[in-house]
Structure 1
């Protein structure tokens, strides 16, 4: 199997992880590209004793730990959510050790074992466990936000509502269509939006999110069964993605990421989940 065939299936997930680590499309993709360039220059970096995805993530983390976050000064081309992320990332990264968050992401978002996480971070399983406990304490201390849920399946919407409220947030709107989503933000500007992509009347949750972002900045998390449809590289893309089927811990971790990267600077905060 060629190097490209080995790596290609894991690229959308490499980009997702890099973005969650850095908090922006631009910085995350820069790290992903750096990891790929390093592998092309030295294919031996992909350790044969590790699964390809684990080996790929190890290269990313090795670069991430060595190279400071590179946030471009001019981020106006990303605008909206992404521009806000860029403005806040550099300040917040300097104030918090990222290893606990990295370990938590690798476990609950990427679904890796603690042994695999230890291989990526060069830590023992007990050290990884301690980092994940620390991350859990950080998450519990995050600022509560007002949440808009955009989801056309009633049962899924109820599950997300219960999950979000269980995390200490307040649901201020449940929308099943594009029009309902826009009407909801007229009545109450959310700080966090959860949104599906395909909505009840055939409208698009993605279009609803774009229309909301045209009115005000708000963090967006997409929950989707098809992350490759959003991670195309063709346009500004969501920084935060959760892949369906999702777990409570996965949603908790990504909410924590969104809040950490400075989105709470504009209250209340909004979360978008697309699926």
Structure 2
């Protein structure tokens, strides 16, 4: 089963535990996928940060993330479940939610219903035939309908966003769009029409981390990914992430990870 960090036009499914292979940074650092994903946790617990807002997750939690959603989550050895990766650009065709969804399924019938939907989709994936491809789209459509019905059942208070959360959502969306540039927290705050101090305050309230740490975390994750998954020269990685020099990139990376980029690449 291939990794989901670079999904193509096909459906994919793998155990959630596989996401953590290669180090905790694989799940805990801020990152995004190029396609929609569904996380179905069946055991264990931890915290997950989605678009800058942190909340707890536990058994029978279903989390849907649209393509490009910045997120990261804690994952101990006790955590189990399944991640479903939908095809790229399938949101409209399947009618998937436009915003992230976090559902805590306390009712046994709803837990069984989602488990069956996920199992049916996985069975078709294993067949690998042309008819199976059609069937996968149908099963994925049923998952989309199921998500819609769960959202309709939520109380208005559960889906109402506080102004601070909306601001953090807007900040993380900008970071996801521009983290390759040399923009600072001050630049992002100016774009949002607020002060850097206010931006850091609302980020701290939402996820326990100031705006600068969210930005650094996203850049560092991308640096780690490029160092481990490509042979791009370190100076070119530095330039692609908005650093003015390789030396500055090395100092920043070492401060965040405790290792130089070259040492991290050799270890990976």
The two structures share one fold, judged by TM-score above 0.5? no
Rg comparison, structure with higher value:
2
If the length of structure 2 is used for normalisation, what is the TM-score?
0.27
Relative CO higher for 1 or 2, CA cutoff 8 Å, sep ≥ 6?
A: 1
| TM-score, normalisation: structure 1 | 0.26
More strand by share: 2
